[in-house]
Chain A
Amino acid sequence: MTERTMNITLHVWRQDNPGKPGKFERYEATDISEHSSFLEMLDLVNEGLIKDGKDPFSYDHDCREGVCGMCGMVINGIPHGPQAATTTCQLHMRKFKNGDELWLEPWRAAGFPVIKDLVVDRDAFDRIIQAGGYITSRTGSAPDANGIAIDKKTADAAFDAAACIGCGACVAACPNASAMLFVSAKITHLGLLPQGQPERKDRARKMVAQADAEGFGGCTNHRECEAACPKEIKFANIARLNRDFIGAMIKAPDDVPKPQPVR
């Protein structure tokens, strides 16, 4: 079978640091194999730039297997590109046509300042997890695998939510740059399991307060996050988050501190 090749025009967002304004620069990717991955195509373009003595553009990537959550850019207006439920690294050039013109932009959110070009700082997500997205458990020897019985449906639902890789595509897709899908994935993951119950009320309050303090917007129920999520995290999780949060604000006996805005 003959291999199809294509020429692609790229408009890549170039920005030196968070403080400086950025702009698009145009590059040509020529003779790209349809079998190459999207990131391999970018690597080829960057190799050409290096050979010409120019500054290659930066983008995030790590495992290239779709599980680590490092990669991600907005490709022609869709986070992670046109293929549903797929990270940028798992996207292949066979999804594109010869002559396509692609606009590559970083996740755009106040909570995710641009470090360089297509790379954004996602420490905000780490701080949201640190605020309450964990269970405080004794770290002794591993418990027996079936020590705590959990029915299959609940385990599956918790696992679906735990599949969130924290890439930030939900924030990128949201018209309000809201992080609620990310927060709700962790709330659902831990809230469905018995181990997550003791800290459930604190978790909802602390994670929401931190997400707000990071400068992410509020959810206005457009469902763009769910459509863009490479791990198909469900929008219904946000309703669970709201339920946990409202319940905790009304019923929890103690207060939690109000975090200071991060920026």
Chain B
Amino acid sequence: MRQFLTCVTVAAAMALLAVPVAMAQNGPLRITITEGVIEPIPYAVPSFVAESAAAQSYADQLSRVVAEDLTGTGLFREIPRDAHISNITSFQSPVQFPDWKAINAQALITGAVDVNGSGQLVVKFRVYDVFAGTELGDGMQFAGTADGVRRMAHKVADQVYARITGESGYFDSRVVFVSETGPKDQRAKRLAIMDYDGSNLQYLTDSRSIVLAPRFSPTGDRVLYTSYETGEPRVHVLNVGDVQSRILPTQPGMMSFAPRFAPDGRNVVYSVTQGANTDIFRMDIGSGATSQLTTAPSIETGPSYSPDGSRLVFESDRSGTQQLYVMSANGGEPQRISFGAGRYGTPVWSPRGDLIAFTKQNAGRFHIGVMRVDGSEERLLTASFLDEGPTWAANGRVLMFMRETQGAQGASSLYSVDISGRNLKRVPTPQGASDPSWGPLQ
């Protein structure tokens, strides 16, 4: 699987750029933590051209954010500006390809920014295949308010990523998560939302009640989460626009948790505990109508829909330990899909439909891993004292999760990793952070 993806990426890059790119190493497929290396594509992104004095302060920021996005994927390597031979001083002037070839820039991104009559930023960009001496796709233009300057840069980077890899991007997206402060035995938790790269953080709740595991709606307009506001954990739904939340009309006095939206944005699946038993339910949050989807006397939780809404993956300890199961979205007999050593939980279906990401606990370590929907080709991407709760980037190529460090001073933070196991990195947050949910491409 890793090889396949690597080859797709490389092949796409070769086809489009028509230049040789180092091939990834070959090796047998196996359940292992992959640390494969692929040669990133060198590119140059000179400072965008300011087309008026008012646009001056945005020009450099735009190109910097584009570079952070692209280099941050691990698939691209920026050629530093002090190595550039040509300067781009006009968006319209012809590109001096030999100057970019000489520094081995395989891709060149040029851009310009202006402020229009109504005070909006107008951003234009072009992508060039340097070695073919041609433009890659057409130039594009975005307009937006000045406080959305980073978003406009993310949109440029999403386009560049899509043109070079043939996959949609994920940079113009947000993450909702739990911000954490205080020691382990008095931890205060608040819901927070930020851009995928940690910018523009805002808090959505205060820390009076414990809040857990927020999950975005398919369009990112609402967030489901679990709160102890009423004394026991109950599922709430929050409107991102006006930050108003309401409790879902699950049975009062009973624990409900582990919510997730269906792809239709109207149905919600979640767990309810009755006595020792925890089962999965579904609610139409428009009408409040509920149905029970599992009836086993064991713990069934962590449900996640397939992108077409026809199936659910969830975890159950009906076999004696936590394992992953797939069933029809209307319930019925589930099929177990996890059979490796250890315990499997928190399954999430890829937005591409091809993979299920999970948390695996084995021999005192935690892993984030992926497997095919039928349970085959399991691959572990990370290992640590405590890695938990993967969430997919919109393009199904990157996962974000929480990592908690060991011991009395242990704290949690967010990390992301490619589904190849490459490019593991911390997502910057000002305080502790857990339970990320990665929203759609905006």
> A and B: partners?
no
- Chain B residues within CB distance 8 Å of chain A: none
